[in-house]
Structures are given as C-alpha cells and as structure tokens.
Amino acid sequence: MRKRMRIAILTGGGDCPGINAVIRAVAKKAILEENAEVIGIEDGYHGMVEDRYRILQYDDVSGILTQGGTILGTSKIANPYRYPIKKGDQLEFKDLSGVAIKNLKDLEIKALICIGGDGTLGIAYKLFKDGIPVIGVPKTIDNDLRGTEITFGFDSALSIATEGIDRIHTTAQSHHRVMIVEVMGHRAGWIALYSGIAGGGDILLIPEIPYEIEVVIEKVKERNKKGKRFSILVVAEGAKPKGGDIIIQRIVKESSDPIRLGGIGFVLGRQIEELTGLETRTVVMGHLLRGGTPTAFDRVLATRLGARSMEMVRERRFGYMVGVKGGDLIDVPLKEVARGPRRIPLDHPLLKVARSVGTSFGNE
C-alpha cells in the first residue's frame, strides 16, 4: 500500500487578504489530485519549532476563499535560526533550526509550502539548504518582493487605501483642509503610488523619492491660489525628507526585522500647518490595509499560485517560489528574495503618468 503523500503548509509574516485562498487551492488540489494528507503548521515558524500543526481536511478549506487573514495563524517574530526566548524580562535568541527540521522530518512530508514575504521566504531558503523540500508562495501587501512583478495582498490593500483616499476628499473639500493619508508599504512606495493615482492624490510621497518640504509647501500654496482650497497627500510610511530619516513607530526587538515604520504623516501635517497656515489633518490607514476579504483579483491570483505550487511539488522544483512575470507564472529561485526589497524604479512609467496629470512627488 503506497503511503499517502504528505504536504505541509506554513504561513508567515504579516497577514493579508488572499492567504486563505492559497491554503484552499494547495489543499484542494493536493487532496483531489494526489489523495494527499495536508498538514497545516500553526502560527508560522512558531508551530514548526514547537511541533504545533493540524491535519486539514477538504471541508476545513471549504468556505475560506473569501476570508481574510490565515486560518493557520502566523508570526512576524518566529525564526527557527534565531528563535526569541523570553526569560523574565530578558530576551535571548537560540538557533532551534535543528529542532524545527527534526519536527518536519518526523512528519515525513514530501514538501513544505511556505506562504510569506521576504522574511518568511528567506528562512524557507535556509531550510531548503538544510535539506527541507520547500516551495515558496510570495505574499505581501507591500508588493516589494524581488522575483515577482506582483504579490497577492497588494490589490486588496490598494482597494482599501483608495477607498480611504476617496472618503478623505469629503472632509477635505468641506473644511478646505490639507488631508494627509499615510499608507503602509514598508521600504517601498507601491501602495502609495498606485492608491495615490487611483485616489487622485495631489502630492504622493514615496521612499524612492526623498521629498523637499519647500516643494510640498509650494504645491499646496499653488493649489490654494488657484482656488483649490484643499489638498490631498498620500504618504508612504517609509517616505523621508531629502537628507532626513524615516520615522520609526516602534522597535520589535524579538523580530529579525525589528523596525516598524509609522508617523511621517503627523510630522508632515505639523510642518504644513505651520508653514502654510492651512488646517491640516492626518489619517494613518495602517493595518486596515491588511484586513477583510481579498479582492477578486487577489482571489484569482492566490488560487493560481496555490495550484502552481502543487505542480512544482510534483515537478520537484524545491528551492523555488512561484513568481509572476508578464502575467504568467514562473519558477523563481528562493534566494532571489533575499536580495532586498523591490523598490519603484525611478524610470517607472507610472511616475511619468502621474506627473503628466499634475501630481507632485515633492521633489521638483
């Protein structure tokens, strides 16, 4: 009697809409086509180190396509190679990769499918080098992963951000105010760029283009002079002034990527109000951008990626992730992700399009 194939799924890093659609696609395809046993590892790499997992039956993944977040739980701090251990108010880090790898080997899995961003997939690559058959599925609202032109989660975050900017127009126009919408995106400005264009932002500030406050002020004043008695700024959390620094909201010391951005919108708001005399308010969309049901685009993309990851198991394409190129799915070496964030190239056509309709990036 041939032993049933066993597939393990892990979700790591920040949650986003679409993760459950990937889990559903992987599990349904594995069960329907391979009669596989599907194991869901709980809370990202925490579950791998602590040997916490559950069997996913076909019914467990029915009805989760539209559900945000991840039914398996996730973590942005668990790293088997640098596992945070709190002892009282002391924090130490231990390499528990041996424990994690033994737990996986004891499960006798054919493959581990890791759904995550650069942190999660960077660890997945290390596990692959340590002998674990890993396939990666890139995930992040930030859309900043090398090796793929888009990540699921981005379109959903984009639609939430755009709706927020649309709504902010109401109060800006009514009170003749400068309204600042700060959006996530970590070290890249993809969410700010796309939602800023979609939402008709007048000034878009992104990490890739350090801004000059004088230019921002001039643009606001110019709009005011033309009778546009309000302005909308869309600001990426990683945006910073020329010669200045990012605004850090908190340090998560347990995390391998400890910096948490946030607050640049308030710094800018105070400066604009002081330098223009115009009433200014700031809204930080933050984790709202990771909430709720995935858009139809993200549901389809997530389903495609999940199904393809199972084909890659069959083809034994371990050490690779499913990337998107020209709308098609390609196999991308996992090590590609570890080369740092994919930022907006300064010759990106959307920058030119935005400028051509009068949008300012605060630098000229």
| Distance from C-alpha of 37 to C-alpha of 57, rounded to nearest angstrom | 8
Site string (237-256) toward ligand F6P, x via CB under 6 A: x-------------------
Task: Confirm if 32 and 5 have CB atoms less than 8 A apart.
Answer: no
68 touches ligand F6P (CB under 6 A): no
> Which of 74, 75, 140, 360 lies at the binding interface for ligand F6P (CB under 6 A)?
140
Q: Closer to ligand F6P at the Cβ: 250 or 355?
A: 250
Residue 29 is a binding residue for ligand F6P (CB under 6 A): no
130 is a catalytic site residue: no
| 260 in contact with ligand F6P (CB under 6 A) | yes
Q: Name the residue with tokens 């309000």.
A: 230
Q: Is 142 in the site for ligand F6P (CB under 6 A)?
A: yes
Our finding on whether 342 is near ligand F6P (CB under 6 A) is: no
Query: 15, 118, 142, 202: which one is catalytic?
Result: 142
Min CB(255)–ligand F6P separation in Å: 7
Classify the C-alpha dihedral 21-47-136-344 as positive or negative. positive
The tokens describing 106, both together, are: 């004891």
If the CB atoms of residues 224 and 293 are measured against ligand F6P, the closer one turns out to be 293
Interacting span for ligand F6P (CB under 6 A) from 60-68, 139-147, 164-172, 311-319: 139-147
Letter for the amino acid at 119? G
Residues 233, 206: Cα–Cα separation, whole Å: 11
**Per rule CB under 6 A, count of chain residues that contact ligand F6P:** 13
Whole-angstrom Cα distance, residue 278 to residue 343? 33
Q: Is 146 in the site for ligand F6P (CB under 6 A)?
A: no
- Which of 193, 234, 201 is CA-nearest to residue 346? 193
Nearer to ligand F6P, 290 or 335 (CB): 290
Find the binder of ligand F6P among 44, 47, 80, 117 (CB under 6 A): 117
Sequence letter at residue 217:
I
Q: Which of 29, 290, 317, 335: binder of ligand F6P (CB under 6 A)?
A: 290
Inter-residue contact 115 to 11 (CB < 8 Å): yes
Note whether 184 and 237 are within 8 A (CB).
yes
Residue 111 in contact with ligand F6P, rule: CB under 6 A: no
- Residues 155-214 interacting with ligand F6P (rule: CB under 6 A): 184-186
Q: Considering the complex, what minimum distance in angstroms separates the CB of residue 192 from ligand F6P? A: 11
Cα distance between residue 111 and residue 320, in whole Å: 12
Q: Which is nearer to ligand F6P, 42 or 142 (CB)?
A: 142
Cβ count within 10 A of residue 347: 7
Q: Does 223 bind ligand F6P (CB under 6 A)?
A: no
Residue 138 in the binding site for ligand F6P (CB under 6 A)? no
160/153 Cα distance (integer angstroms): 11
Q: CB of 137: closest distance to ligand F6P in angstroms?
A: 15
Measured between alpha carbons, how far is 351 from 364 in angstroms, rounded to an integer? 13
Question: What value does the CA radius of gyration of the chain take, rounded to a whole number of Å?
Answer: 22
What residues form DSSP beta bridges with 6?
37
12 binds ligand F6P (CB under 6 A): no
147 makes contact with ligand F6P (CB under 6 A): no
Q: How far apart are CA 5 and CA 120, in angstroms?
A: 24
State the residues that interact with ligand F6P by CB under 6 A. Answer: 14, 76, 117, 140-142, 184-186, 237, 260-261, 290
Q: Which residues are catalytic?
A: 142
